[in-house]
Amino acid sequence: MDATIYQRRIVIGAVLCAAAFALVGVRLVDVTLFKPRYTGVDAIDRPALARADMVDRNGELLARDLPVADLYARPHTLDDKAGAARDLARVTGADVRRLLDGFNNAKHPYVLVARQLTPDVQDTVMHLGLPGLEFEPSAKRYYPDGRATAQLLGVTDPDGKGVSGLEQGLDGRLRDANTAAVQLSVDMRVQYILASEVEASRQRFRAKKAGGIVMDVRTGEVIAMISLPDFDPNYRKVEADDSDHNIMAADRYELGSVFKVLSFALAMEDHTTRPDEVFSIGNGFRIGKFTIHEAEHMPATLTARDVLAHSSNIGTAQIALRSGPIRQAAFLASMGILSTLHSELPEFARPLFPAHWGTIETATIGFGHGIAIAPLSYVSAAASVVNGGRRILPTFLKTGADRRGAQVIKPETSAQMRELLRYVVTNGTGRKADIAGYDVGGKTGSAEKPGPHGYQSHVLVTSFFAAFPIEEPRYVVFVLLDEPHGTKETGGLALAGMTAAPLAGRVISRIAPLLGVPQRPVTVARENT
């Protein structure tokens, strides 16, 4: 009797186990073979595999995939479809009308409710107590530094594909299952300093846009890049006052007098002038039916050195005309100015320059009008002028290696230009970038913006290009303010010497110690005793 009872219990247990395994098997078949995923009407793709992390040059985390879940509902299990649609929309942010349309569509057994729900939202959904809800594991890209790296890093779409910034430019590498992390050239310490100083100046001078770049002149590594206004990449929403546009790479500007760095480099290279040569400035310089004027009052005569230091358009036009259009165009082409600069960033701007390059075009291009380029392209060319004269291209990946290429100007020309740029800061329009402890060389730029009826008086783009330490530059800093306004402290003026130059000086004073740039020795005079 006892044996029979035990045998029955064994049989019953075996049947229950078989039934349980059968049920699990049926469910697996249902999930893997017969479960379509729908948005209500159209099928969606399976989420991409997790992307690799991005880290800065010091290993600080910049971007990482976090576990989230996509929520699906089985409409046939919902007794109150309208109520379920309202509750799910309230909790997840989904569109209630889309949900209700999907729930009432008998053709689709599954409806996508919402994607990339965080664990706390998932928990709230579960507390609704609705039947027929299923979570599918997914991933959402998270950016710990938020706005500070917005346009630089870019964002991914809900399927984990890069759609802007380095997320797009490095998409293949980031999606490679064998990639542990992608290390960028960016130093977040410098990035935060550049961001805070540029934003402070944008607010102070009420500029529409602003940006900045810090680059190593030997490796081409971009240490920091800022474009303002920015946006919060974690929300994937661009509010009214935000922008996801990177003005430093994707916009082109007539940069004005910072372009004189290239004009003087050509003149020094070809020996068409010498720093102490005297030029007549006067009240205007006439070329055919055009007359070139100065932005500010100038002396009757200036040496070539002071033409650069005081940013004389008339003097620079005369120097540029000695080179002529053919040589000027060839030189700018060799510096990369006339071609599109490509980097790991997918955003870029093609240069604009005249189809007919004649006498007047040569003169105006000499002082930075009549040619529009991306700020990043300019930084690349100007860095080549000060780094010993070798072509350098920017990179956003950490390398640490000297990447300087072909010799585009002679080393002695580069040394001569460094002396001239130091003179601009000590004796010219760049005085407000002259900071204690570091020998900075640089050039101001104040360009009138073109409008529908010609150039707009007092509507400016101001910028400053700086290299430090100027005797043997390691880094360059470039800052730009789009339509700044003068203040009481500047006497209502918004020229680069009062807006962009002090901004660059503040950036350098803060980042130089972090980057290990030694201060120059301080000489203390002693009295004879």
Is residue 211 within 8 A of residue 197, CB to CB? The reply is: no
Q: Could you give the dihedral angle defined by the CA atoms of residues 383, 385, 390 and 395, in that order, rounded to the nearest 10 degrees?
A: 10
Torsion of CA 426, 429, 430, 432, to 10 degrees: 90
Q: Which helix (H) or strand (E) holds 150?
A: helix 150-153
Q: How many CA atoms within 13 Å lie on the side-chain side of 109?
A: 5
* Catalytic choice (138, 185, 227, 257): 257
Q: Which residues pair with 38 in a beta bridge?
A: 43
How far separated are the first and last CA of the chain, in Å rounded?
A: 123
User: Pairing mode, if any, of strands 209-216 and 53-55?
Assistant: unpaired
Q: Which residues are bridge partners to 133 per DSSP?
A: 73
From the centroid of its chain, how far is CA 527? 52
HSE (CB half, 13 Å, CA atoms) of 429?
32
Instruction: Reduce the secondary structure of 384-419 to three states and give it as a string.
Output: HHHCCCECCCCECECCCCCCCCCECCCHHHHHHHHH
Cα–Cα distance measured from residue 262 to residue 408, given in angstroms and rounded to the nearest whole number: 12
Rg (CA), the chain: 31
Q: Which two tokens stand for residue 412?
A: 């002695």
Give the helix/strand (H/E) hosting 248. helix 247-250
Retrieve residue 38's tokens. Answer: 């729908």
Structure tokens belonging to residue 239:
């509010």
In sequence order, the β-bridge partners of residue 443 are 465
Residue 498: closest CA among 215, 233, 205? 205
Answer yes or no: are the C-beta atoms of 87 and 130 closer than 8 Å.
yes
Verify whether residue 257 is a known catalytic residue. yes
d(C-alpha 169, C-alpha 172), whole Å: 8
305/275 Cα distance (integer angstroms): 5
Strands 301-303 and 133-142: unpaired
Just list the catalytic residues: 257
